[in-house]
Amino acid sequence: MTLTTQFYTMLAMVGMGALFGAMLDTYQRFLNRSARKKWLVFLNDFLFWILQALLIFYILFSVNFGEVRIYIFLALLCGFSAYQALLKRNYLHLLEIMIKLVISIYDFIVKVLKKLVYSPIKWMIFLIISLVLFLLKSLLSLILFIFKIIRFFVKLILKPFHWIGKLLWHLVPKNIKNIVEKLYNKWAGFLDPFVKVIKTSLKNVWNKWFQKTKKK
């Protein structure tokens, strides 16, 4: 190994020692050991140290093809000590500033998205739902109104036939009237329970649907 290569190796390892110190402080800042389970902390620590070892070996391999010497460990220790003595306080201060800056940018983006995207979409959906409900209620009212008109005209048209039927009924002999009335009462009494059940079911369904529409 030439002197130039050794010099570059020393500089690289000093830099990696300082970088390791910065990455260790960053890792400790985000890990929050007290709030995590022990097995998860152990797994994170294991992966962190493996990653640091691989990174240092990669830099060492790039500089001197992976030759390990005693002074390499001394250079790493010197870099780490230099970071702890000279750079740690400033780095941690800068790290906190960067974290606050990222949080502020994130909060700003979230607020902008809420104002420009979420709120317009929410009010647009609310407007569409309100419009649809209004149209449905209006259509229902129109159908009921038309039904009332049709029923009125049907009654009006059938009124003469009703009068004619009454007149003809009075002309029917009494014994035939009695037979017809008996048959009518018999079948009416037989069908009454079914008619009541059907009417009650339809009324309940109508009331539930109308109440839901009214609440909306």
For 9-36, the pLDDT digits (tens) are 788 888 889 998 899 988 888 887 777 7
Position 109 scores a pLDDT of 93
Listed by start position, the domains of the chain span: 3-99, 173-216
Using DSSP's 3-state secondary structure scheme, residue 1 falls into coil
Distance between alpha carbon 189 and the CA centroid of its chain, in Å?
Answer: 58
For 78-121, the pLDDT digits (tens) are 988 988 888 889 999 999 999 999 999 999 999 998 888 888 88
Count of H helices and E strands in the chain?
6, 0
**Each residue's pLDDT tens digit, 39-65:** 888 888 889 889 988 888 888 888 877
Sign of CA dihedral 100, 106, 108, 110: negative
CB-based contact 22:87 (threshold 8 Å): yes
Contact 79, 20 (CB under 8 A): yes
pTM for this prediction: 0.54
pLDDT at 185: 65
Helices (H), the chain: 3-31, 38-64, 70-82, 88-113, 119-171, 174-215
pLDDT of residue 178: 67
Query: Do the beta carbons of residue 59 and residue 16 sit within 8 Å?
Result: yes
**Residue 211 or residue 165, greater confidence:** 165
Of 7, 3, 5, 9, nearest in space to 59 by CA: 9
